């Protein structure tokens, strides 16, 4: 048995979305405020806590709900359809849970089998937060509204008393009048948005009890620093407290003692008797003085001291857990790094979850107990306080820890599914098929999200492309899944200098989470299906790569009216899908943006230079010669330069602009040209604030900044390449 998928409707910003679950790990990724936490909260609230607030409704729905409330108030007499739950149904929080059930597991789900013909496969249940009794809800709302309104009028007040609106009423009365109910769905329609029929009555009781065990590790784990001055410096989530909890539940010899526990209990009992005798003797003089004062009264009973030595007392102190440094040297737990504490704590929590599920030790199963066939574990942002390498270790080991039991491992009687929400590219690393990307939709008045299963991005015909993309992302970190926007660049020089251009000339962009990936002109288009599916704002900074088809396709300096073509696969096959150089160089600004998608290409364009003889148009071939041509006055002044930079400095001094462009083209296309070294030398010899961003790149950066103006949600520029 396993969860196949869930469909969430009207829950916060998840207005309507489907999330497919992997068999083992499912990882929620996405940019800030994209809905990952909302999805985790939906699972926690619908499946476990069942405690809702008005803010858990999709906010845009309250406008409609308030209008319904106004109609109730205005109506002299409500018709039956105006009092039906059907009226509220489009706006109620809903979670549809689809479970895959094998034939051997039918006894677990006998209470939710939809028809006698059903023989196994998918089962669907709908959990809906709805009015307990809509007539009572309407009656109390109208009564309270009219009462407060009448009072305001009698007192001659302009302002309204509670409840001003239906929302206002529900703020106080939501859990009085609403409850979570369960309905059965048609197992033949798992991918359809099913509507409940009038005769579809809710199932009694908690239908998931005995089916799914749910455990949660929240994002706020509350680890304390040893140097903290706060009063509560002893975290309840440290390993000592976790060990005590585990001991009390699974190991405590006083609970249902076995033969193995007798010797330990006898020793504890003897220690308690000896301690009582010692206390009695030690306090004898002091207690005699109190008795002489007729204290404590009530016939002056004698005071007797009796100790209680608990088996878990040995773990009830800060130094119960120590880290051994060397033979007789050790430090208390709180002096270890927060990252190490966090990792150990999470792993031990997983061990505890597993052993509670499997009824290990003193918690062993009885005849009345059953073990749920499915264990669902939810972990929010496990990367907190963990450095990169430990994050990768965690994601590789977490699921194995949850299955490390003789009753589990590779056996299929019981299923474990782990769901993780994260902002960490290291946790997303090498788990491509497990990733579920939360895509923001900011086109509406109130932002919503949809969820994309990344394993469905590439079709059967694109397996080689998929293989390349996965390998590439695994070698460059998966920052693309957390970015507000992505910039794909041609080579190392662009990757080195682009962050400086952004910092100096595009302040808003500098405050956004933009990831810069060095992909190369021949491969940028391979990321196309992924970027388009994710809906990412994307700028592709590439080269025109002009060739002369009449000279065996050799590279050539860009010129118009020579029938030259581009050899750039991105420009030919992704966007703008143009091969002829004249068309590319004359393409207007708007046509460089894909229709209906926030994707734009930026490549070299004509640089028009004013001189005594008039305006000269020069067409650069690469980023490097465009940079030199547009900053030639600065390059002229550079002294003591070496290598490729020195050659470019000499070129920049030429008075003949056509000759300058031609020689720059020749130098930069030399096989010995070290472009990354050139970019680093530029930063070394000149303040990057003085260097002008090449025009074609500046246009692209201004465009991407304009796309992000509405969100402003990012924090950093990331340049993993």
Residue 696 has a CB neighbour count (10 Å cut-off) of 22
Average pLDDT over residues 310-322: 56
In DSSP terms, 3 is beta-bridged to 99
pLDDT tens string 144-193: 999 998 888 887 777 788 999 999 999 999 999 999 999 999 999 998 88
pLDDT at 713 exceeding the cut of 60: no
Nearest Cα residue to 127 out of 52, 216, 54, 60? 52
pLDDT at 340 exceeding the cut of 90: no
DSSP, collapsed to helix, strand or coil, labels residue 316 as: coil
Confidence label for 271 from pLDDT (cuts 50, 70 and 90): confident
Distance CA 380, CA 397 (A): 16
The per-residue pLDDT for 230 is: 42
- For the ranges 5-14, 186-195, 333-342, the maximum mean pLDDT occurs at 5-14
Confidence label for 295 from pLDDT (cuts 50, 70 and 90): very low
Average pLDDT over residues 245-266: 69
E strands present in 195-307: 212-217
E strands present in 187-272: 212-217
pLDDT tens string 580-619: 999 999 999 999 999 999 999 999 999 988 777 778 889 9
The per-residue pLDDT for 462 is: 81
pLDDT tens string 624-642: 999 999 999 999 999 999 9
Instruction: Measure CA 51 to chain center.
Output: 23
Helix, strand, coil percent content, the chain, rounded in steps of 5: 45, 20, 40
Length of the chain: 721
What dihedral do alpha carbons 442, 444, 447, 453 form, nearest 10°?
A: -70
Average pLDDT over residues 50-68: 95
Give the contacts of 106 (CB within 8 A, at least 6 positions apart).
Answer: 113, 120
């Amino acid at each position: 048995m396993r969860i196949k998928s869930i469909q969430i409707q009207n829950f916060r910003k998840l207005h309507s979305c489907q999330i497919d679950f992997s068999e083992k790990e499912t990882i929620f990724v996405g940019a800030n405020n994209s809905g990952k936490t909302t999805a985790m909260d939906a699972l926690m609230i619908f499946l476990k806590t069942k405690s809702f607030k008005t803010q858990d409704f999709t906010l845009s729905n309250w406008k409609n709900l308030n209008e319904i409330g106004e109609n109730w108030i205005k109506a002299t007499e409500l018709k039956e359809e105006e009092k039906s739950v059907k009226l509220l149904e489009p706006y109620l929080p809903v979670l549809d849970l689809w479970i895959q059930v094998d034939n051997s597991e039918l006894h677990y789900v006998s209470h939710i089998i939809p028809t006698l013909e059903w023989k196994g496969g998918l089962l669907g249940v709908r959990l809906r937060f709805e009015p307990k009794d809509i007539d009572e809800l309407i009656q109390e709302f109208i009564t309270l509204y009219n009462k407060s309104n009448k009072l305001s009028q009698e007192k001659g007040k302009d302002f309204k008393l509670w409840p001003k609106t239906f929302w206002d009423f529900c703020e106080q009365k939501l859990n009085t009048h609403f409850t979570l109910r369960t309905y059965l769905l048609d197992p033949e329609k798992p991918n359809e948005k099913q509507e409940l029929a009038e005769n579809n009555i809710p199932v009694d009781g908690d239908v998931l009890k005995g089916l799914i065990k749910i455990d949660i590790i929240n994002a706020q784990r509350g680890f304390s620093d040893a140097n903290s001055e706060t009063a509560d410096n002893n975290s309840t989530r440290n390993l000592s407290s976790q060990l005590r909890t585990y001991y009390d539940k699974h190991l405590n010899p006083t609970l249902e003692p076995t033969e193995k526990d007798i010797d330990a209990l006898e020793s504890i009992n003897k220690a308690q008797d000896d301690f009582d005798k010692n206390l009695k003797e030690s306090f004898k003089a002091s207690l005699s003085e109190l008795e002489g004062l007729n204290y404590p009264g009530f016939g002056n009973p004698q005071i007797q001291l009796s100790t209680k030595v608990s088996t878990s007392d040995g773990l009830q102190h800060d130094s119960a857990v120590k880290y051994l440094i060397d033979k007789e040297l050790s430090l208390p737990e709180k002096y270890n790094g927060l990252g190490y504490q966090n990792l150990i704590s999470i792993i031990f929590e997983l061990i505890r979850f597993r052993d509670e599920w499997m009824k290990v030790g003193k918690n062993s199963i009885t005849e009345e107990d059953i073990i749920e066939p499915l264990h669902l574990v939810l972990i929010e942002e496990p990367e907190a306080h963990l450095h990169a390498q430990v994050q990768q270790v965690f994601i590789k080991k977490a699921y194995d820890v949850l299955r490390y039991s003789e009753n589990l491992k590779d056996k299929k009687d019981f299923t474990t599914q782990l769901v993780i929400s994260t902002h960490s590219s290291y946790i997303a690393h090498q788990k491509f098929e497990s990733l579920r990307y939360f895509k923001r939709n900011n086109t509406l008045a109130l932002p919503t999200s949809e969820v994309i299963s990344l394993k469905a991005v590439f079709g059967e015909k694109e397996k080689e492309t998929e293989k390349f993309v996965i390998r590439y992302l695994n070698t460059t970190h998966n920052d693309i899944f957390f970015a507000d926007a992505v910039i794909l660049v041609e080579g190392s020089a662009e990757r080195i200098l682009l962050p400086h251009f952004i910092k100096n000339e595009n302040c808003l962009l500098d405050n956004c989470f933009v990831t810069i990936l060095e992909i190369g002109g021949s491969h940028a288009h391979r990321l196309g299906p992924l970027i388009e599916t994710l809906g990412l704002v994307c700028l592709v900074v590439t080269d025109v790569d002009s060739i002369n088809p009449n000279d065996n396709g050799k590279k050539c300096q860009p010129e118009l009216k020579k029938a030259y073509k581009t050899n750039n696969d991105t420009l030919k096959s992704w966007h703008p899908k143009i091969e002829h150089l004249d068309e590319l160089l004359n393409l207007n600004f708007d046509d460089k943006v894909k229709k209906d998608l926030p994707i734009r290409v930026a490549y070299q364009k004509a640089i028009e230079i004013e001189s005594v003889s008039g305006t000269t148009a020069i067409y650069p071939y690469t980023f490097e010669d465009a940079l030199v041509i547009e900053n030639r006055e600065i390059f002229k002044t550079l002294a003591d330069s070496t290598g490729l930079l020195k050659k470019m400095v000499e070129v920049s001094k030429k008075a003949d602009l056509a000759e300058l462009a031609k020689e720059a083209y020749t130098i930069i296309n030399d096989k010995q040209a070290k472009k990354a070294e050139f970019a680093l030398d530029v930063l070394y010899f000149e303040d990057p604030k003085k260097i002008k961003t090449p025009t074609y790149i500046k246009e692209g950066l201004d465009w991407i900044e304009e796309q992000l103006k509405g969100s402003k949600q990012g924090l950093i520029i990331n340049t993993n390449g």
